Each structure stands twice: as C-alpha cells, then as structure tokens.
Structure 1
C-alpha cells in the first residue's frame, strides 16, 4: 500500500523531509515561523475559524510529504492563523491515519513538520470512544496519558525518549482555567480501521485505558521526540463497544462531532489563546 516514490520512504531522512515541508509552508503562506500547531481531528474543524485571523490556507498536498486525507471529516488543508497577540498557529487539517498502511513516517510527518516550522506546542485532537459510563457523546475530555497498542513507533534505531508527563500537566491545568468541568482520561490507540470488539474494550479498561481511538498516540511520541509540549483533547463521540447499547458507526462519529462542534471549537480556540 506504500507508494515507493514517496519522499518519506527509506532511505530518506524524515527530519530533512520535514524541514523541506516547513520551507514549503513558509513559502506558500508567507509566514516564516509558527509558534503553536494544532491537529484537528473529527469534530474539531471549526476551531480554525475562531483562533484568529487566517493568513493563508493551502492544500496539504502542495507541501512535501503530505497526502490527501482518506477520512471524511478531515479537510485536507494547512492553515496559518494569526492570534490577536500576534502569534502564529499552524492548523493541520490533514491527518494520515496508521490504518491507511502508509507507514509511521507518514503518520507523524505533520507533527515533525510543525516542529520544523518552529512550533514549541503541539495540540492533538481526535474523536474517540469512551469507556467511562458517566461520559456522554459530544463531551470533550483532556488526555492525561496514553497506551500505544499499535505495536509500532515513530522512533527509529536506538532512540530512547522519556514518556513521563507526555501530556503536559501545565497545559491541562491551563485548559481547566477555560473550562473547570473538563474530565480527563488515558487515550488508547489501536491499529483499526475496525472498531474495537467488546473484549478488546474490556482489555483496554483492564490495562488502564479510558478512551479508544485510531490516532494521536504515535503523533504524541513524535512530538515528544521533537521537544514539543503536548496538549491532547478527545471528543467522546460514542460509548465504546460493549458499553454502548447500539452498534458503532462512522456516521455516529460524524454526527456527534457536528452536534458538539460549536462548544468544542470555542473551547479549543480559547485554550490556544491562553497558551504561552
């Protein structure tokens, strides 16, 4: 499934490709450096309109190493937004999912590119299933930690990176100054694209997971390797299999995102506005 001519294929240096992509973004947007980056998962797309003034919007496919998103709900663009205080936010609406089979380098390329643009903070968002029965569809929760159950990693060779406090306690507390009611939980990435079985959900709960999805964990590892401070949000689009009384569907995920869009987009924009 991997395109043998893709710029990120071995023996290419993925960090050099990310630097080339960052140069493309600077050229196409006219913005030399970005301070914050945010990846918009399912349901979070409208936040880009609320963060600040859009300086430029470009198709992700015009930037080295980026692919067209395979999933409905992802817009396939990169946007440079200027906040009221003059900082620049790179809004990533083009996510490559692990289940697409293109390899981890392409999954984390957006994060490495964001770091190469100068961004010191990475905000990762997603739509996911919840294991806590008290959560309701359309509820945003903070990611406190993660389980990477993909059996893969973006780290290559003898690269040892500390994962303690992967999701910044400082940024989680900052988010609660915007919404004190925000709950948090441990995000679990599985390979997908099939939804989890009830037995798999019970397994995730047994090993400490509260949220299940198909993105984010590999990106967070790459962001930590790049030295970025990370904030994560999950939109609980449904209760996970075996907890939900109804079968799961992608349509349900999209519908929950649409219904929660105004609330979560305002929340995300307000949190990004306070990040320093």
Structure 2
C-alpha cells in the first residue's frame, strides 16, 4: 500500500485508528475456545465489526508465536483474510525484528512477501545494514522503534550521547538510509511532550502511536503536536477495544469502543 492510499483512507473514514490484534486465549470469550481455531475466529469477528471505523490492524506476532504452529497458522489466516476481504486496510506486523543484513532480508521476505503485510516494526539498534533490507521492498513500510511508551524507554532512548538524546540520533541518522522514504516511526502516546522536537526532525513521516487507552496516553495531547499536513498518525488501541466484552456480543462491544475513538478522531480532523 502506498502512503497516498493510506491518507485517502484516513480522510474517507475520518479515522486514523489502528486496532491491535493481540489475542490472549485467557481473555477472549470462553465459548470461542470450543472452535477449531479460536484465535482466527476471534480476529475475524473483531475485523468484521470494526473495519469501517479503523484504517489499520496490528497483530503483535508474539501473541501468535506463543501458541506455536497453531498460533502462526492463525496469524497467516488473519492476514490473508484481511487482504482478501478488506484490501484497503493498512496492515502492520508488530514483530520488532532487527538483525544482521542477510537475516533481516529473510525476515522482510517472510512478512512482506509470504504473509503480504504492508508494514512491520523493526528495531534500529544494529544500524542501517540491519534496516535497509526491509526498506528495499517497494510500497512496503518499515516502522522504526524510536521512542516507545514503556517505562524502560528511559534506560537508553532518552540518554544523551555527545549532548543529544539517543532517540533523536536514531531519527536523524535513519533519514540518511537508502529508501528512507519508506520509514515510519513508533512514538509512544505517553511521550506526547517530546513531539514538538520530534516533528522538527521528521515533519512529514507517519508515526505509529501505541499507548492510547490502557497505557494511559491521551489522544488530544498527542494530536496537538503530532498531526501534520498529511495527518501523519496511526494511533493504536488494543486491549481497550478487542476485550471490551467476554460475552457473545464481544464483537459489537468492540465496535462500540472503536466508534468512540473514531468519533473523537473525526472531531479532531474536522478542526484542521
């Protein structure tokens, strides 16, 4: 998917919501556990109920890998269902990969070609030769971890090296990498106060924003400095939407929660 297609979808739906499909069998409705593939059954119901309210879905691959081959098969079925039924949706493999170049190229091939995701999250710690293999794929997007929403982000990301915070050096350096126009960045919603300076470094890039909802991030605060001329935000909510109910009406409950977020986003977009 091109960035232009993503922006068109945002304007059409009046939404920049990304829904995280982080499936925990201990949290889904109990009656689904009787199904042959409860993970996919849950995902399909959530997707069918919410696709008109969001522009992206983000399965965190750890939640699938934890269940071995069955989990991976469920992930495969989920992405194939999304691509076949809702091709306008932007898909994110939240895999946080990153390794030496020849290994990264295998990761990229797995997620971009075999599974046909539009994008995936990548760790920048090993530098450009570990990231550029992902950037080489046309109309695919590499979402670089920059400033995350977890407490441990302060261990390294905000530490100063030669007078400049590490996350700023990551942002600046990444712009020099080959095919850097295919980069997006993870910026946690709990780090809204950093956005003004971040936008000075990457004014035109899309930001994937985890941490809204269950992690305490505030949408209004983040949008104040995070929005750009192309909207430039994908705001993720996972638990707050997909686990809105454990009853048979779980998908409808998820849709109601997604609608609440979408309405807040529409109000923000109408003010631009």
TM-score by length of structure 1 reads 0.29
Q: Which has the higher contact order (CA 8 A, sep 6+)?
A: 1
TM-score by length of structure 2 reads 0.29
- Between Structure 1 and Structure 2, which shows a larger proportion of strand residues? 1
